[in-house]
Amino acid sequence: MEKSLVVPLQYLKGIGPKRAKSFNKLGINTIEDLLYYFPRRYEDRTNFISISKLQEDQTYTIKAQVLARGERRSFRRRGFSIIEVAVGDSTAKIFCVWFNQPYLKEYFKVGVTLILYGRIERYAGRLQMNSPEFEVVSSKSDESLNIGRITPIYSLPEAMTQRRLRQIIKYALDEYLPKINDFLPFDIRSRNNLLNLAKSLLAIHFPDNFEIQKEALSRLSFEEFFLFQIPLALRKVKKKQRKGIAHQVEGELVANFITGLPFQLTRAQEKVIGEIKADMAAAEPMQRLLQGDVGSGKTVVATIAGLMAIQGGYQAAFMVPTEILARQHYDKISAQSRGVRLGLLTSSANEKEKKRMYKEIAEGEINLAIGTHALLEEAVKFKNLGLVVIDEQHKFGVGQRALLPVKGANPDVLIMTATPIPRTLAITLYGDLDVSIINELPPGRLAVKTMHFTQENKSSAYEIAKDQLRQGSQAYIVYPVIEESYVLDIKGAKKMYSELKSGEFKEFKLGLIHGRLKQSEQDEIMLKFKQKELDLLVSTTVLEVGIDIANATCMMVESAERFGLSQLHQLRGRVGRGRQESFCILISDAETPEAKARLEAMIKYNDGFRIAEEDLKIRGPGEFFGLRQSGLSELRIANPLTQMQLLKKAREEAIRLTHLDPKLEMRQNGLLKEKLLQRFPEYEKLMMVG
């Protein structure tokens, strides 16, 4: 933005070193940061409601005078203090109550006028306001920022009051708004009906009415989305400009593979394969994200893409997050595709094996290399890498994902995820990728029946599992940790394995698997399970992604409250892969509202897209995408879920801009460029590289 706002806070009236420090703790270092420190909510203090009209279970802001105050000790809890203050206006009076904050008392002198914000509740037959937020109205100073208007309420820095903060922000607005030049070019603003920056900043803090506040919100959200989209859009343009490989997509290898499959591809798979084929045939490098619910059959699609590269003489690499999954893909693809030489590379291979693998990959002996992040090691060099597939991409960081493609000369890239999100959101968040979606499961799959049991009723849960085992099916039971924790009071897989083996499940054959076992041991156990030598697999989340064993029909998750929603859905995805009815049993004494919401969502929805939406709602976009989209957690005011339209517009503008002026050299884009470089310093490099 305007350099004029990148000024240390201390320059502002009312801010000394001490105040500056408590602002700094919240990341507010400059005037700009302060102006972008938005209210967390507003109170309409233009008209206050009469106390006589207050109703139970509603939240209000009232203005009233202190009539009396008192303090007492709780009967039930010793040492617990309760302050009661009777306040009234011309219509009625009401009690306000604060718990265990005796120091508040001094504010409530009789005769003082208060503004109170809180919920009205009934207690012992009378209405009262519990622990309201309050402000003391001054009879001496100017109250125009605090009363008689829509008033902003902020999250407060240490040792700061709402009134003081409003005053400080007002100073900043008065002094700096006249100096602001809007960095959003005029034509973008007018095309999208956006308020200018100065007006928006004023109206977001001190709106004259809620309409203008909304307009300000739109403008400021647009700006966040827009800045976030520009680097993505530019990256996409750049990638497309590079010269990639035009693969020989028609050929025997692919045709034979498809005829050899024991099933028909679904329509959704066919469609996605068509999209990938078009990309791979073209000389532009493919950058595609493939989304599909757990069990939708992404592996086959990726394998076909691999064969398209291989039949033209190129190599393909599949990177997956766990060794178990690498092994599974390796076994499955080996069985399905003749005439292709596969290599398996994981960190647990010994030096000799690794060396041999490196050599064979480098010499082009191996057509398809499957592995974990071990593929990223320096020593891995390809002869002619033509396709990179990254499975379960959410398990890798952005940085890791970028490391594999550079081992080839602009290979095609296919990124796969089983945490699907709504299409518009996917397109905007992964703005540098094209998006394909498998929106259909193979036919004949039954919805997994999901149930919740408390710890107390666990034995009924075990009965369901045993029932499945007796019918010859297999089951998993997943624990959040390997070793149990007394502190957190959670059971661990190891101890429970021995308990279950000699107790509840002693008539069955049990196996134990977790991440601390040697790879060879893990492989052996998975193999035994696959060959039905084991009935019940006691495990940790090493099973979370990808495992595909159709005879398993029961997934039990212990301490289910400790897992995220998408994680639970992934675990559930380990069953329901065959034609028998399957069960997902969540055992939990969930107490927090979020944990309860997750369990409810699991019971209500089977569809991964719905689950992801719920997960996004529960966690918020920043948490949901975590570090993977670190830019997202920087969104302060914009919300991709509730402002999808605005996000779309911002993206369209970003794409338009990167086509018209990729280096932001035009005069009208000068301020924008400054702002962008301030926000994303790495953008400079992005603009320069070819």
* Residue numbers at the binding site for Mg ion (CB under 5 A): 546
Residue 271: Cβ within 10 Å count: 16
Binding to ligand ADP in span 300-319, by CB under 6 A: 300
Residue among 226, 207, 227 at smallest CA distance from 216: 207
**285 lies in the site for ligand ADP, by CB under 6 A:** no
35: helix, strand or coil: helix
CB of 616 to ligand ADP, least distance (A): 20
* 240-248, 290-298, 317-325, 363-371 -> range binding ligand ADP (CB under 6 A): 290-298
Q: DSSP letter at 157?
A: P
Partner touching 548 among Mg ion, ligand ADP, none, CB below 5 to 8 Å by kind: ligand ADP
**Residue 321, CA atoms < 13 Å, CB-side half-sphere:** 20
Three-point CA angle 520, 524, 528, nearest 5°: 170
**577 lies in the site for ligand ADP, by CB under 6 A:** yes
Task: Map residues 414-433 to x or -, x wherever contact with ligand ADP holds by CB under 6 A.
Answer: ----x---------------
Binding to ligand ADP in span 236-265, by CB under 6 A: 263-265
Q: Which is nearer to ligand ADP, 413 or 418 (CB)?
A: 418
Q: Which is nearer to ligand ADP, 221 or 296 (CB)?
A: 296
* β-strand pairing of 342-345 with 412-417: unpaired
φ and ψ at residue 586, rounded to 5 degrees: -100, 120
Partner touching 292 among ligand ADP, Mg ion, none, CB below 5 to 8 Å by kind: ligand ADP
* 4-12, 298-306, 340-348, 579-587 -> range binding ligand ADP (CB under 6 A): 298-306
Q: DSSP letter at 351?
A: H
Q: Which is nearer to ligand ADP, 333 or 425 (CB)?
A: 333
**299 lies in the site for ligand ADP, by CB under 6 A:** yes
Partner touching 207 among Mg ion, ligand ADP, none, CB below 5 to 8 Å by kind: none
Partner touching 269 among ligand ADP, Mg ion, none, CB below 5 to 8 Å by kind: ligand ADP
Q: Which long-range contacts (CB under 8 A, 24 or more apart) does 100-105 make?
A: 102/71, 105/69, 105/71
CB of 400 to ligand ADP, least distance (A): 19
**572 lies in the site for ligand ADP, by CB under 6 A:** no
Question: By beta-carbon distance, which residue lies closest to ligand ADP?
Answer: 297
Q: Which is nearer to ligand ADP, 84 or 440 (CB)?
A: 440
What is the rounded CA–CA span in Å between residue 471 and residue 593? 37
The beta-strand segments (E) located in 30-183 are: 41-44, 59-73, 81-88, 93-99, 113-123, 126-130, 133-137, 150-153
What is the rounded CA–CA span in Å between residue 660 and residue 665? 10
What is the rounded CA–CA span in Å between residue 215 and residue 602? 37
**411 lies in the site for ligand ADP, by CB under 6 A:** no
- Whether the CB-CB separation of 426 and 435 falls below 8 Å is answered with yes
Return the structure tokens found at 175: 């002094």
374: helix, strand or coil: helix
Identified binder of ligand ADP from the candidate list 292, 312, 343, 405, rule CB under 6 A: 292
Q: Which is nearer to ligand ADP, 294 or 305 (CB)?
A: 294
DSSP-derived secondary structure for 287-315:
EEEEEE-TTS-HHHHHHHHHHHHHHTT-E
Q: Which is nearer to ligand ADP, 302 or 500 (CB)?
A: 302
CB of 254 to Mg ion, least distance (A): 20
CB of 418 to ligand ADP, least distance (A): 5
Residues that bind ligand ADP (CB under 6 A): 263-266, 269, 292, 294-300, 418, 442, 548, 577
